[in-house]
Structure 1
Amino acid sequence: MRYISIEQVEPGQYLGKTVYSANGTVMLSAGVQLTVFMINTLNRIGVTMIYIQDKTLEDVETEDVLSERTKQAVIREMNDTFEAVRSGKEWSTKKIGASVNQIMEDVMNNKEVLVQLTDIRTKDNARYVHALNVCMMSTLIGMNMGLNALQLKDLAIGALLHDVGKTLPGAKADPALDLKQHHTWRGYELLKSKHEFNLLIAHVALQHHERLDGKGIPRGLLAADIHLYAKIVAVANMYDNLINAFDGEGLLPHDACEKLMSLSGEALDRDVLIQFTRIVSVYPNGMAVRLSTKETGVVVRQHRGLPGRPVIRVVKGEKEEMEVKEIDLAVHTTVFIEAVLA
């Protein structure tokens, strides 16, 4: 499969990964042949990058930490929960706990798989995919930092619901306004009222926009006063927001990682960032790149622990005269990725 921008997609190509709607149902299945109408629809609903099938890359698959079954079930549950919160109805903490159990089981089974975050998101499902991604990344970071099972579950629930305050009527996103109406405070108050939850879960919602230097919101806490769970969620939240901005300013993964590292010790916790760099894929499988040798190719495999040194497949010529070679950047240490060809 090849990972390309929606502007590069042509009618007749085949979709590589399934597109889900906001309620977790399938909108377009992997393998469908794309028409002009489908491509225009994907563009209209906010899709910016998708996977397409490519005969020269048939063996290239994206290893996902979470199964399609888990993603579909959790997106559906998040949709139901947020809709209940928005309308002032009761919502089930048990169902949220069950969703988190599914996520944690997948994470435990696939803890060696690097995070690639290449799921196709739309304007309708973006909030739920974001919550899912932040939860998954936070759980992986927490595992690497030695949290036990009970701690991981509280962290995961807090991560999944970190933005729940945004769904409440009257909640604001602008920190210049009354901070008591900011989504962090509103989320905290909502989660604090759920006595089935550990109070630390509510503090994740409250503190995930705090900064180590005291310039964060809503309370301007210093590093020592920010809970570890919130420090972890802050990194996962910022990374997913950086690479998936719907205003057209989203960063490529390697640029987003550099942005995060530039905030080490200032806004984000250094120890959390170290563990983050060990779980994320800087150059996702299927992404086209140009090497320092001036050759162009596609990322086909990853090395855990060396996220910036994947294996690149270079294809030259066509059909009978086609020449294919793979360059392992972990072995060829003098060759570098010079640019991403998105």
Structure 2
Amino acid sequence: MKYVDIEAVEPGDILGKTIYAVNGAVLLSSKVQLTVFMISTLRRIGVTNVYIKDAGMEMEEQEEILSEETKVGLIKQMSETMDSIRSGKDLNSRAISLTIEDLLFDVIRNKDVLVQLNDIRTRDNAEYIHAMNVCMLSALLGVSLQLNQVQLKELAIGALLHDLGKPDLEANGENDEPKRHTWRGFELLKAKREFSLLIAHVAFQHHEHVDGTGEPRGLIGDQIHLYSRIVAVANTFDNLLASGGEGAGGLLPHEACEQMMAMSGTSLDREILVHFMRIVSIYPNGVSVRLTTKETGIVVGQHRGLPGRPIVRVLQRESNDSVESREIDLAKHTTVFIEQVLG
């Protein structure tokens, strides 16, 4: 697969990753052949990049942390939860809890798989994809930090619902600046007796900074609960991928990781960042790269514990005009580095 700009997609290209609708249903399945109408529709609903299958760059099927069933369930649950908040209805805490149990089952089973956040966002599904990504990343960090099962479930519920205050403010015509939506999310979750108060504190504190410059209370270091410090890291990463943190085009994973390391000890907890860098794929499969050998290729494989040393497949044109491919494992070729990410 190749990760490409929607403007580079042509009719006849084969979609490499499923795209989900806001209710969790499949909007377009992977392996579907794209038509002019489909491409036009994807542009209209806000899709900017997609994964396309490339016959010349076939790779092993990417191992996913979450199953498609779990993803569909999470997106559907978030859609129903946010609709309940906007309409003033009560949250279905049991349904949320069961959805989180499915996520934790997948996360614990696949805890050694490097994170590659490659689900395609549209204008309508973006907030649900964000909640799912933050929840999955936070749970993986919790596993890495050796939290117990009760703690993992509290952390995951808090992570999934960390932005719960936003739709409530929108429904009342108010803005969603961090100080306001964190307070509102805290109040909504605190009222749910089925949930631990620590879950409410995730919504309350996920915009706090360890140096005391965050919102809403300016807490410092360990004054911020561990769950909230974990969710802050996950939330920052997904926001940087989605919009670069400035509402513009999103950053590539290696750019987001560099920016987050610059936040170590100020906005973000240093120890949690160390764990984060062990679980995330800096150069995801499907990304085009240029090596220091001046060869270009596509990342096709990963190494747990060596996220910056993936396997790259390069194409070589032979003298008879045939094209041959070979793989360069950067974990073995220690003098070869990725010089530039091309897209």
Classify the TM-score, shorter chain.
Answer: over 0.9
Offset, 1:91: 2.0
CA contact (8 A) 1:300 1:310 kept: yes
Q: 1:172 aligns with which of 167, 175, 182?
A: 175
Look up the SS of the partner of 2:307 in the other structure: coil
- What corresponds to 1:331 in structure 2? 332
- What corresponds to 2:87 in structure 1? 87
**1:104-151, Cα deviation, whole Å (9 max, x unpaired):** 000011111111001111110110110000000000001111100000
**1:287-306, Cα deviation, whole Å (9 max, x unpaired):** 11111111000000000111
- What corresponds to 2:8 in structure 1? 8
Gaps of 5+ in 2: none
Alpha-carbon distance in 2 for matches of 1:227, 1:91: 24
Q: 1:197 aligns with which of 195, 214, 239?
A: 195
- What corresponds to 1:100 in structure 2? 100
**1:208-257, Cα deviation, whole Å (9 max, x unpaired):** 00001111001111112100000000000000000012944210000000
Q: Residue type matched to 1:314 in 2?
A: V
- What corresponds to 1:73 in structure 2? 73
Alpha-carbon distance in 2 for matches of 1:320, 1:109: 46
Q: Residue type matched to 2:68 in 1?
A: E
CA contact (8 A) 1:141 1:232 kept: yes
**1:170-201, Cα deviation, whole Å (9 max, x unpaired):** 453235xxx4xx11000000000000000000
Alpha-carbon distance in 2 for matches of 1:59, 1:293: 22
CA contact (8 A) 1:191 1:202 kept: yes
Look up the SS of the partner of 2:300 in the other structure: strand
Alpha-carbon distance in 1 for matches of 2:212, 2:73: 38
Aligned residues: 337
- What corresponds to 2:51 in structure 1? 51
Q: Residue type matched to 2:329 in 1?
A: D
- What corresponds to 1:116 in structure 2? 116
Q: Residue type matched to 2:133 in 1?
A: N
Say whether residues 1:300 and 2:303 are aligned partners. no
Q: TM-score, normalised by structure 2?
A: 0.95
- What corresponds to 2:154 in structure 1? 154
Alpha-carbon distance in 1 for matches of 2:300, 2:307: 13
Offset, 1:320: 7.1
Q: Residue type matched to 2:267 in 1?
A: A
Alpha-carbon distance in 1 for matches of 2:303, 2:111: 13
Q: Residue type matched to 2:113 in 1?
A: V
CA contact (8 A) 1:300 1:311 kept: yes
Alpha-carbon distance in 1 for matches of 2:258, 2:317: 35
- What corresponds to 2:261 in structure 1? 261
Alpha-carbon distance in 2 for matches of 1:245, 1:41: 21
Offset, 1:53: 1.1
Alpha-carbon distance in 2 for matches of 1:174, 1:152: 28
Look up the SS of the partner of 1:303 in the other structure: coil
Taking the TM superposition and a 5 Å limit, the aligned residue runs for 1:133-282 are 133-168=133-168, 169-170=171-172, 171-174=174-177, 179=179, 182-245=180-243, 247-282=247-282
CA contact (8 A) 1:211 1:222 kept: yes
Say whether residues 1:311 and 2:311 are aligned partners. yes
Q: TM-score, normalised by structure 1?
A: 0.96
CA contact (8 A) 1:60 1:286 kept: no
- What corresponds to 2:129 in structure 1? 129
Alpha-carbon distance in 2 for matches of 1:161, 1:310: 33
Offset, 1:317: 2.4
Gaps of 5+ in 1: none
RMSD (CA atoms): 1.4
The farther-off stretch of 313-322 and 241-250 is 313-322
Alpha-carbon distance in 2 for matches of 1:213, 1:91: 34
Identity within the alignment, %: 59
Look up the SS of the partner of 1:300 in the other structure: strand
Alpha-carbon distance in 1 for matches of 2:140, 2:48: 26
**1:12-37, Cα deviation, whole Å (9 max, x unpaired):** 11111111100011111111111122
Alpha-carbon distance in 2 for matches of 1:320, 1:105: 49
Say whether residues 1:26 and 2:26 are aligned partners. yes
